[in-house]
Copies of this chain bind each other. A is one copy, B any other.
Amino acid sequence: MSENEELNEIVSNEDLVENKKEHLRELLETKHYAAFIRAMDEMIPVDAAEFLSELPTNRASVAFRMLKKDTAATIFAELEPDLQTSLVGAMTDREVHDILEELYVDDAVDMLEEMPANVVKRILKNATKETRAEINRFLSYPEDSAGSVMTSEFIDLTKTMTCTQAIEHIRRTGIDKETVYVAYVTDSSRVLEGVVPLKHLLFSEPDEIIENIMNTNVVYAHTQDDQETVANMISHYDLIALPIVDKEERLVGIVTVDDALDVLEAEATEDIEKMAAILPTDKPYLKTGIFETWRKRIPWLLLLMVSATFTSTIITHYEVAIGRYAVLTAFFPMLMDTGGNAGGQTSVTIIRGLSLGDIRMRDILRVLWKELRVSMLCGATIAAATFIKVFAIDFKFKPSVMVGEALQNNLQICLIICMTVFFAIVVAKLVGATLPILAKRIGFDPAVMASPFITTIVDAVTLVIYFAIASSILKF
C-alpha cells in the first residue's frame, strides 16, 4: 500500500526543476565541471537560464563561459537583459560574434533594445554585415509593432514546386527557421500569395504542385500593426504563425504563436498594472529595484492625491453644516467606496472587453443602455440593503449616531443615504463605461481610465449628490 502510494506520488514539474537546479549548484560547488557542463547541456534551455540567473552575477559568468558554444547560445537567448549585458561585458569579441550569429533575429533585437548604448555598439561591431543590416532594419520598427516582434527566419516556397521539392527545400533550409510547420508562397517580387501548412505537404501526393494545395485565403498583418492586434489574430484563428507584410504587401517576416503568448501575457500584465494606477514595467517584480518600483508607483499616487483637492473643496464648502450634522460624515467612506467599487466594476469590464475585441467603438450606445439598466438594478438593491442596515441596525444599536443636533427623524437621514447611494452607483457606472471608450476614441489607452481614476471623479460626484440631497431635506 505505502509502496503503491509512493509510486503514485506526483512530483510537479516545478519541484523537478528545483531538484535539477540544486544538483547543478552542487556540481559547481564541488568543482565537478565536466559533469556540470553535461548536465547543463541536458537541461531545457529556459530552465538552465533560470538556474544561471539565480547565481551571483560573477559566478553565473564563470559558469556560462564553461558551456559548449551552441548550448551557450540557446541559453543566452533565454536570459534576462541584465544578465545578458553582464555576460557580454565578460566576453571576447569573437565570443560576442558567435553568440549573435546563433540567435534568431527577433531574439537579438529584443536583447539589444534593453541594453545600454555602448554594449549595443560593441555587439553590432562584431556582427557580420548582413546580420547588422537586418538588426538595424528591425530596430527601426516602432516599439510594440508587429515589425518589432516578428522574425525574418521563415520558409518560403514558390508555387511551381512539387510537394516533394517543397519538403526537400524545407529539409535543406529549415534548420535555422523559427518554424518549419508553415511555409509561405511568394511571387518573384516577394508578394505573399499563399500559405502551406507542412501537414498539407505530408498528406498530399508527392508530385502535386504547391499552387494546387496552397491556401490563398491568408490571414496576415502589416509591420506597423500593434503587436496586441497580431497576437489576438493568432489566438482568434488558432495559428502557428502569422505572416507580416510591408506596405507593398511583400512578405517580410512572421510572428510565431510562442511570441504571441508572450505578447498577450505582457499586454495583460500591462493592462492590469495600468488599471491599478502603476506605470507598466517589463521586469518581474522581484527583479525590479526599490527605486524603480517607487518611480512606477509615485506618479499616479501624486496625481490622485492632488486631484483629491476637489473633494476637500466640496467638503470645506459644507463645513458649517458638517459641524451641525456630524453624523453625515460617518457615511462618507461607505458612500464613496461603494461608488468607487461600482464604477471600477464597470470600467474594468469595459477596458478588458475593448482589449479582447469583444466591445467595439460602435457599441457605445448599447454599452451605455446596458450599464444604465444594470446600475439602476444595483443601485436599487444597495439602496434597499442600506435602508435595512442603517435604519434597523446602525440606528437601533448605536444611538450615539444620533447626537447631532436638530435631527428629528432617523428616517430623514436614512433617506438621504439611500438616495445618494442609488445615484452614486448610477453615475459611477455610467462614468465607468464612458471614460474608457472615450479614451480609446481620442487615441489614449483605455486602461488608465480604471478604478483609481474613476474613484476620484466618483468621489467628487458622490459628495455633490450627498450634500445636494442632504441640504434639500435637512434645509441647510
Chain A contact residues, CB within 8 Å of chain B: 8, 10, 12-13, 42-44, 46, 167, 170-171, 174-175, 180-181, 198-199, 202-203, 217, 219-222, 225, 229, 233-238, 240, 247-248, 257-258, 260-262, 264-265, 268-269, 271-273, 275-278, 284-286, 290-291, 293-294, 297-298, 300-302, 304-306, 308-309, 311-313, 315-317, 319-320, 322-324, 326-327, 329-334, 336-338, 340-342, 344-345, 347-350, 352-353, 356, 358-359, 363, 366-367, 370, 373-374, 377-378, 381-382, 385-386, 389, 393-394, 398, 400-401, 403-404, 421, 425, 451-452, 455-456, 459, 463
* Chain B neighbourhood of A262, CB < 8 A: 235
- A337: contacting residue among B298, B366, B400, B456, CB under 8 A: B456
Closest beta carbon of chain B to A448's beta carbon, Å:
13
The residue that A42 contacts in the complex, of B10, B217, B233, with Cβ under 8 A, is B217
Complex interface: chain B residues within 8 A of A298 (CB): 377-378, 381-382
List, in ascending order, chain B residues with CB within 8 A of A300's CB. 341, 345
> How far apart are A457's CB and chain B's nearest CB, in angstroms?
11
Question: Which residues on the B side are within 8 Å of A237 (C-beta)?
Answer: 44, 46
Contact status of A336 and B333, CB under 8 A, knowing A258-B257, A319-B404, A403-B319: yes
CA distance A347 to B278 in the complex (A): 11
The minimal Cβ–Cβ distance linking A232 to chain B, given in whole angstroms, is 9
Would you list 7 pairs from A and B whose C-beta atoms are within 8 A, ordered by A residue? A10-B247, A180-B202, A260-B261, A271-B272, A277-B344, A285-B359, A319-B403
A327 to B385, CA, bound (A): 31
Contacts of A240 in B (CB 8 A): 181, 240, 257
Cβ A285 vs Cβ B353 within 8 A: yes
Residues of B within 8 A of A327 (CB): 316, 319
- CB-defined contacts of A403 to chain B, threshold 8 Å: 319-320
| Chain B residues whose C-beta falls within 8 Å of the C-beta of A222 in the assembled complex | 10
Copies of this protein chain in the complex: 2
Chain B residues with CB below 8 A from A291, complex form: 377
B301 touches A382 (CB 8 A): yes
Report the bound CA distance from A358 to B393 in whole Å: 45
4 extra A-B contacts, CB within 8 A, seeds A13-B221, A271-B272, A298-B378: A269-B352, A276-B347, A277-B341, A305-B334
Task: A456 to B206: give the CA distance in the assembly, Å.
Answer: 69
Instruction: Provide the bound-state CA to CA distance between A374 and B317, in Å.
Output: 36
* Pairwise interchain contact A203-B272, C-beta atoms closer than 8 A: no
> In the bound complex, what is the Cα–Cα distance between A239 and B399 (angstroms)?
65
CA distance A220 to B44 in the complex (A): 13
Nearest B residue to A460 via CB reads: B333
Instruction: Name the CB-closest residue of B to A379.
Output: B301
Chain B, Cβ-Cβ closest to A293: B374
10 nearest A-B pairs in the assembled complex, by CB-CB distance: A308-B334, A276-B348, A311-B333, A238-B258, A268-B268, A284-B358, A315-B330, A285-B353, A312-B330, A294-B377
A311 to B247, CA, bound (A): 60
Contact residues in B for A285 (Cβ distance below 8 Å): 349-350, 353, 358-359, 367
Residues of B close to A398: CB separation below 8 A: 313, 316
Docked CA distance A447–B206 (Å): 54
Residues in chain B near residue A353, CB distance under 8 A: 284-286
Tell me the complex Cα distance, A337–B304, Å.
8
Known: A247-B8, A315-B333, A323-B326. A358 touches B286 (CB 8 A): yes
